[in-house]
Structure 1
């Protein structure tokens, strides 16, 4: 479904004179979009996510003619347009993406009501579209990593083919933290030296998803690896994980490793360990899955992972079918035994 909502100038290439009424409507749309952005001003991460969702809806439904700031959201009072938008633009996405886009549209419609583009009745009609059947249910992302696989990954850091001694020590510390604390990539790239409490085996995470500072705890192997890395990096204030020069000199002045650099390190070491494709988030899944498999309480693991809801933590469980089968077989059920004679009489 494509709404041709751009100006005549955009469609024909000729000069278009904006009439006063059209200019007023465009100004109201811009004001509504500004309200939409300010709705999420207290959480920059959520603001970026929802603005991107709204931009994607506007761009795809207008064939690239419109952006979120000038898209005619007030036209979504037409049930046929909303139905086509949901079927052709939002529906083909994953279930989670579809719900997120639908939420962004509903919030934007509310903002349109605030600036006068919609009446209250029109808002109710435009927001009444059903989301129960939208979106594709995809298989869970990521992969299952066993403890043997993670240990092979850590071993590849210390004895890998690429990089010198300093690179090996840094990579080993980086992956040991990822594999023992369940931190996200954005959280590990935001770590400072001052965030590391050696005596308490703790990391103080200040840059987190949702902007909620929290604590992360480290395995003794990660503590030992970090001590070895700090002996090379030094304890001067600044990012904990930094790039290295060709000679192995820590380049603290260059800032922290980026997410892409962390991703490349994990992928390279996984290839050397013969594990195929592994992402930083797979190590987060490993921690959560292993803690659950070891019998730790779901709420405790939820706090360790920094999740708001236990349902999110449970969705990370990647234990294979063998573990699920073994769990069922562990039930204490007694077999019902009868004699052959009684069976024949019955």
Structure 2
């Protein structure tokens, strides 16, 4: 390892007190830097921005992901910042070099059949009180596209201090979203039925009276736990995960997956992007447009399954006379 790098590693180990694993990663990344500088015939303190851009492109061509390249560049940038403080370089050659922009991952959404299977689950092992609550939670998350914080902030009835509430007569949920923005979303028939069943047993919780004395906010909460307190986001995550496994789904479900499923399924059926934006409470429609990519995936799968020209190239096609195409009535 070149002396400059050894000095820098000693600096981050002793003076900055970085974790041993971080120092180890720095050592690996700086060794790569030293090898590239040697291959280019340039000293470490003479590296220019053009070298950095070329080496970053090499990392990208070698299959390194954008996040990994960003970590490497961050290490190199810190190294040259230290060299600058030591008066060994006049400028930082990594200052204006950035990793390629990573593709935005698609939101994870359930297939329609899986979402319905989860919503229709009747857990015979759960007590009726818990079962009624959890069914109502699933129906609201999937049927209204609520964020988990919007769900747990709902009160059983409207009030001047309520963050949100459900009006069953109007079949509407009034929720407080991001940025303290209010929106009203429709509540479907299944969600309304589940909510009525839950409200009929909600006050049967033995711990509720004492909890209300300790925490008045819980007295108004739509969803409460066995301790009588307002149901937390962490509790919703836990219950939903367990419920999805009991429903036999291949992956454990989290609350935002049901929000993604709501958006994807509404968009597949209506193709109304602006309506989905309003239902989700997105300030910018570009945030909602990610669901059009999910919708395209749905169409692509249908195409692959149905169109005779969608066969993989390596598949052995039968002779034209034996080829059969299934037809369906429109």
Under a length normalisation based on structure 1, what TM-score does the superposition of the two structures give?
0.54
Structure 1 distance, partners of 2:13, 2:297, is: 56
Q: Which runs of 5+ in 2 are unaligned?
A: 27-47, 78-84, 159-163, 204-216, 305-330
Structure 1 distance, partners of 2:97, 2:245, is: 47
Q: Which runs of 5+ in 1 are unaligned?
A: 12-57, 66-77, 106-116, 245-250, 329-346
Structure 2 distance, partners of 1:127, 1:303, is: 41
Partner of 1:23: none
Cα displacement (A) at 1:179: 0.9
Structure 2 distance, partners of 1:219, 1:188, is: 15
Distance 1:289 1:79, change over 3 A: same
Partner of 2:214: none
Structure 1 distance, partners of 2:107, 2:21, is: 25
Query: What SS class does the counterpart of residue 291 from structure 2 fall into?
Result: coil
Partner of 1:142: 108
Count residues with an aligned counterpart.
238
For residue 96 of structure 2, the aligned residue among 105, 125, 128 is 128
Q: Where do residues 124-273 of structure 1 align in structure 2 (5 Å cutoff)?
A: 128-131=96-99, 133-135=100-102, 137=103, 140-146=106-112, 148-156=113-121, 159-193=122-156, 194=158, 195-198=164-167, 199-206=169-176, 208-234=177-203, 237-244=219-226, 251-252=227-228, 254-259=229-234, 261-273=235-247
Q: Where do residues 27-42 of structure 1 align in structure 2 (5 Å cutoff)?
A: none
Check the 8 A contact 1:144/1:320 in 2, yes or no. no
Cα displacement (A) at 1:175: 0.3
Partner of 2:311: none
1:223-249 C-alpha deviation (Å, 9 max, x unpaired): 1211221122249843221112xxxxx
Distance 1:85 1:291, change over 3 A: same
Distance 1:9 1:286, change over 3 A: closer
1:34-75 C-alpha deviation (Å, 9 max, x unpaired): xxxxxxxxxxxxxxxxxxxxxxxx99977799xxxxxxxxxx
Query: What SS class does the counterpart of residue 225 from structure 2 fall into?
Result: coil
Check the 8 A contact 2:109/2:264 in 1, yes or no. no
Structure 2 distance, partners of 1:189, 1:81, is: 52
Check the 8 A contact 1:204/1:214 in 2, yes or no. yes
Partner of 1:113: none
Structure 2 distance, partners of 1:269, 1:306, is: 27
Check the 8 A contact 1:185/1:281 in 2, yes or no. yes
Structure 2 distance, partners of 1:98, 1:130, is: 7
CA RMSD of aligned residues (A): 4.5
Query: What SS class does the counterpart of residue 216 from structure 1 fall into?
Result: strand
Distance 1:297 1:127, change over 3 A: farther
Query: What SS class does the counterpart of residue 316 from structure 1 fall into?
Result: helix
Cα displacement (A) at 1:327: 7.9
Cα displacement (A) at 1:183: 0.9
Query: What SS class does the counterpart of residue 184 from structure 2 fall into?
Result: strand
Report the structure number with the largest CA radius of gyration: 2
Structure 2 distance, partners of 1:98, 1:210, is: 30
Cα displacement (A) at 1:288: 0.8
Distance 1:237 1:98, change over 3 A: farther
Distance 1:62 1:184, change over 3 A: farther
Structure 2 distance, partners of 1:143, 1:266, is: 15
